[in-house]
Amino acid sequence: MSTQRVALISGANKGIGFETARQLGKQGITVLMGARDLAKGQAAAEQLKKEGIDARAVKFDVVNAADIKAAAEKIEKEFGKLDILINNAGVMFEPIGGNNTSSVPDDVVRKTFDTNFFSAISVTKAFLPLLKKSDAGRIVNVSSILGSLTLHATEGSPIYEAKALAYDASKAALNSFTIHLAHELKGTKIKVNSAHPGWVKTDMGTDAAPMNIVDGAKTEVELATLGADGPTGGFFHMGEAINW
């Protein structure tokens, strides 16, 4: 079994996932960059290799069961374990702002949940045996402040007027998965947390976002590298807890 720390990041060929891979790689962690398009993943990995990072592309469409199985088998064969799993891949098909609750198409809700919720469960279950072989397994579910039921229900909160049902509900469900899995793994060496990266300048966040990608990756990286005394079963942004 490899003594090198190994991280798998879904949706890592661009945006926050790519920057998360860079920051983890700078800490000497081998980063496996999951990408739906292997060529794009390889191009991203080559970019990080030029910075001295041990980056490797993995074909990894999180809604494709065959990809998940193949990636798990590959990592088991090459490393014998997994130290960090970051469920970073996510989609948003709705406009930011307003309220689309009664008009959002059913297929948009289903497609959003397929990537943002159901795939996170499938991926995590597939890699849990490898994470259990780590001395300090870390699972980071990349959520959003838009998944906070408390803030959505609180008039005057930063997100009170921004309601996109499919996306918000998928992230609330993901947070529930975090809580449940952390409880199941309580007393083990594995920690499970949800991360709110912030509103970041990415393809999804648009140029209207106030945060840059470097800062947007910091919460994922922090939760991926928690010490033994770090929290589990929480929801965080830049070290601060967020209300569920």
Q: Which residues are catalytic?
A: 167
Distance CA 6, CA 41 (A): 17
Contact 117, 173 (CB under 8 A): yes
Which residues, listed in sequence order, are joined to residue 98 by a DSSP beta bridge? 162
Which element (helix H / strand E) includes 59? strand 55-59
Cα–Cα distance for residue pair 11/5, rounded to 1 Å: 20
C-alpha to C-alpha distance for 49 and 186, rounded to whole angstroms: 36
113: helix, coil or strand? Answer: helix
* Non-local CB neighbours of 145 within 8 Å, separated by 6+ positions: 151, 158, 159, 196, 237, 242
Specify the DSSP class assigned to residue 105: -
Q: Which amino acid is at 61?
A: D
